[in-house]
Structure 1
Amino acid sequence: MSTFKKTVGKLHLWLGLASGLIVFIVSLTGALFVFQDDIRDLTEPWRKVEAQATAPVLPSQLQAAALARHPGVDAASTWVTYFGPERSATVFFTDKSGAPTQVYLNPYTGRVLHELDLRTHFFTIVQEIHMHLLLPEAVAKWVVGGGVSVFVVMLLTGLVLWWPKRKQERKQRFTIKWGARWRRVNYDLHNVLGFYAASIGLVLALSGLFMLYPWLLEPLVLAVDGGRPAPQEIMKTKLDTLQSATATVQPLPDIVYRTARRLSPTHEMILLGPTGMGKDPAFCWTYQKALHYYHRDEYAFHPVSGQLLETRFHNSKSAGTKLSDMNYDLHVGQILGFGGKLVAFLVSLICASLPVTGTIIWWGRRNKTKKKKPRLQAV
């Protein structure tokens, strides 16, 4: 083996031992989370409703119904989501005890269907482990981010170590010898599966890092856009605090909802952010397809008058910004539909197995070396 490959091997070994537990947990919980919407649709009947010909009720009515059991919670601090014609709407808020709460309502009648305390919800816990390992967010950002960053290096160094020196070795590197001894099967599982999963694993790891560190995505967006972002991509919605504004007669969420519905009539999902932040604009996002976050239009409104301040339509965005919007759907594989989610699930499981099979390889070689030492001494 060349000096270069020996150095890469040492780097691969020690980085793998240092980050293995983090990679295992993050990958396994990621695999569990991929199909969370599909599983929840089967196990949580309150997520679906029968589509009706009538228009959905306005968000102010949904807020009033959801907060009827939670006096003291400001409606302006809630998040309201319309998920589509055959899905319930939700109102999300933090109650007086600090519990993150999501209320599901029939969007056509405003009737409360179910209320969730997200602290005890299975997939919320899985997501929290995946993103933060149940650590404080400030600490987890560096622990998880560091582990995933090391995993990216591991995938690249693994490809260097896997690459066959001679052409006749290539067939052997692409297949697992199931009939061999278990140590050889474990070795093949680590190398062969690692090779097949490397490209998708890199996409999953990098898209996860982009969520943790959004600034990492900026150079990629600039590169895709040729180094010069389009003017509409760098606009920042600002309020003129010196200019007085006349308060709207209608509830602000209703104005936001009606405007977004009118300007994005074909979009299924609408998300309304908090509207009572005072100095900050009220934001709204519309999505072409329910539970998909790529194809979206964005709106900003004056928090007092309800005046539309800024729009960003999907069709007018640059290629780099569209790539940025695609990040979550890439991370869970749903950008390619059910097949993409299945691939993301399988690759996540393989990524979870790599620290295990790699540790077994290292432990076997370590013990083998120890057993050889007494023989050399006796000779």
Structure 2
Amino acid sequence: MSAFKKAVLFVHRWLGFISGLVVFIVSITGCIFCFQDEIQDAMYSYRTVQAQNTPFLKPSQLQQAALQTLKDGKYGGMAILGPNRAATVRVTDKAGFHVVYVNPYNGKVLGDDIMQKNFFIIVEFIHLYLLLPAKIGKLVVGTSVLIFVAIMITGIILWWPKRKSDRKRSFTIKWGGRWRRVNYDLHNVLGFYSTAIAIILAITGMSMSFEWMEKGIYATGNIGSKVNREFEEREMKSDTVSIPANISVPAIDVAYQTIKKQSPHTQMVFFYGGEKQSDIIHGTAYPTPLHYSFSDSYQFDKHTGKLLHFLPNTKKSPGMKLNNMNYDIHVGQIAGLPGKIIAFIVSLICASLPVTGLIIWLGKRNKKPKAKKVRDIAHRKTHQHLKATTNI
């Protein structure tokens, strides 16, 4: 091995020691979370409804249905998720943070999911924060993932075959070899095949931890484009001078009707804001249920539902579109079911790399005394042979 590769190996190994445990945890939880929607739909019938040829109830009616179930609760936002899915209303009370599932056609409450007890929410918090305080957890996870990107790059340098005769061996796993050789191939070969996707998953994950990464993606996407970033990121304030005494239609219902008119192909709508600390109601419209790309963004006056700001997906900059696609890219669903399967497999491989790498390192440590012993025996036998020859 050349001096350069020895230096790369040293860096690769120690970066692995530093980040290996966190990378393993983040990758395993990523695998589990990848199909969380499909698994929860199979486990909990209250998440879905039978599609009907009747219009949905108004958002205010769905909101009221949820608050009647949790009378001491405070409203925290809602989502209308599509024709065959229950609407969700977020409510907080003494018991914690609830997601109440409501039939959007008749207002019947179908289920109440406390987020602190939801297995997949716990998995998500481990994935994002390691269950540490959010600020600390983001830093630990984000730094470890950044180190992992460096590990993948140094791994490719170490893997790169020097001779043409080594190429076939570098691309295949020798399943018939000894278990140490199989482990070595699993680390190197699977690491090579997963590198490109793993780095994409890592970058999209880091954008959730580091603002500079999110801004970097935004800037990269907008290279060569003229962008009015101030307009895209504008946060509006209520322009209602005095609140009308008799408001016949709740603001959220007015907002929903505006979204249906402006974004007619929308199937999923999210609302948040409008509480005491917020001047506006944010609305986000998506064309596909449970997919978070290609969204139209709205801001409404919280008192009257007046439209204050509208940014359709077609007018968003490439950088903003790329950031909006971040979650779908991260879990693979940007490419549908095949994309999710690929993300799952790559995450599983990423979880295996610290394990197989540690086994390789331990194997080499255990080999050294044995190799030294063999050399000592060979040296002693050679010395004895020379001595016997001299005496003849």
Same fold flag (TM > 0.5): yes
Q: How does 1:1-379 map to 2 (within 5 A)?
A: 1-75=1-75, 78-97=76-95, 99-226=96-223, 228-231=225-228, 234-239=232-237, 244-247=241-244, 248-373=247-372, 379=380
Amino acid at match of 2:161: P
Amino acid at match of 2:204: S
- Show CA shifts across 1:23-67 (max 9, x none): 111101101111111111111111111111111011111111111
User: How far has the Cα of 1:304 moved from its partner?
Assistant: 2.5
User: How far has the Cα of 1:215 moved from its partner?
Assistant: 2.6
Please tell me whether the aligned partners of residues 79 and 89 of structure 2 are also in contact (alpha carbons under 8 angstroms): yes
**Distance between the aligned counterparts of 1:356 and 1:19, measured in 2?**
12
User: How far has the Cα of 1:224 moved from its partner?
Assistant: 2.5
- Aligned identity (percent) is 46
User: How far has the Cα of 1:376 moved from its partner?
Assistant: 5.6
Please tell me whether the aligned partners of residues 46 and 88 of structure 1 are also in contact (alpha carbons under 8 angstroms): yes
Please tell me whether the aligned partners of residues 277 and 303 of structure 1 are also in contact (alpha carbons under 8 angstroms): no
**1:44/1:17 Cα in 2 relative to 1: closer, same or farther (>3 Å)?**
same
**Distance between the aligned counterparts of 2:13 and 2:325, measured in 1?**
33
**Distance between the aligned counterparts of 2:221 and 2:148, measured in 1?**
25
User: How far has the Cα of 1:96 moved from its partner?
Assistant: 2.7
**Distance between the aligned counterparts of 1:285 and 1:179, measured in 2?**
54
**Distance between the aligned counterparts of 1:224 and 1:117, measured in 2?**
38
User: How far has the Cα of 1:234 moved from its partner?
Assistant: 3.7
When normalised by structure 1's length, the TM-score is 0.94
**1:16/1:271 Cα in 2 relative to 1: closer, same or farther (>3 Å)?**
same
The alignment covers a number of residue pairs equal to 375
Q: Which range is displaced more, 364-373 or 28-37?
A: 364-373
**Distance between the aligned counterparts of 2:242 and 2:309, measured in 1?**
17
Please tell me whether the aligned partners of residues 245 and 304 of structure 1 are also in contact (alpha carbons under 8 angstroms): no
Q: Which range is displaced more, 211-220 or 345-354?
A: 211-220
Amino acid at match of 1:290: P
State the partner residue of 2:389.
none
Q: Which range is displaced more, 126-135 or 196-205?
A: 126-135
Gaps of 5+ in 2: 381-392
Gaps of 5+ in 1: none
User: How far has the Cα of 1:237 moved from its partner?
Assistant: 2.5
Instruction: Determine which structure has greater relative contact order: mean sequence separation of CA pairs < 8 Å that are 6+ residues apart, divided by chain length.
Output: 1
| Structure number with bigger Rg | 2
User: How far has the Cα of 1:93 moved from its partner?
Assistant: 2.0
Extract structure 1 runs of 4+ deviating beyond 4 A.
373-379
**Distance between the aligned counterparts of 1:141 and 1:254, measured in 2?**
36
**Distance between the aligned counterparts of 1:279 and 1:353, measured in 2?**
45
User: How far has the Cα of 1:377 moved from its partner?
Assistant: 6.4
User: How far has the Cα of 1:254 moved from its partner?
Assistant: 1.1
Amino acid at match of 1:119: Q
**Distance between the aligned counterparts of 2:156 and 2:26, measured in 1?**
21
When normalised by structure 2's length, the TM-score is 0.91
**Distance between the aligned counterparts of 1:107 and 1:268, measured in 2?**
13
Please tell me whether the aligned partners of residues 266 and 285 of structure 2 are also in contact (alpha carbons under 8 angstroms): yes
State the partner residue of 2:386.
none
User: How far has the Cα of 1:253 moved from its partner?
Assistant: 1.4
Q: Which range is displaced more, 58-67 or 248-257?
A: 248-257
**Distance between the aligned counterparts of 1:327 and 1:31, measured in 2?**
17
**Distance between the aligned counterparts of 1:250 and 1:3, measured in 2?**
74
Amino acid at match of 1:61: Q
**1:8/1:159 Cα in 2 relative to 1: closer, same or farther (>3 Å)?**
same
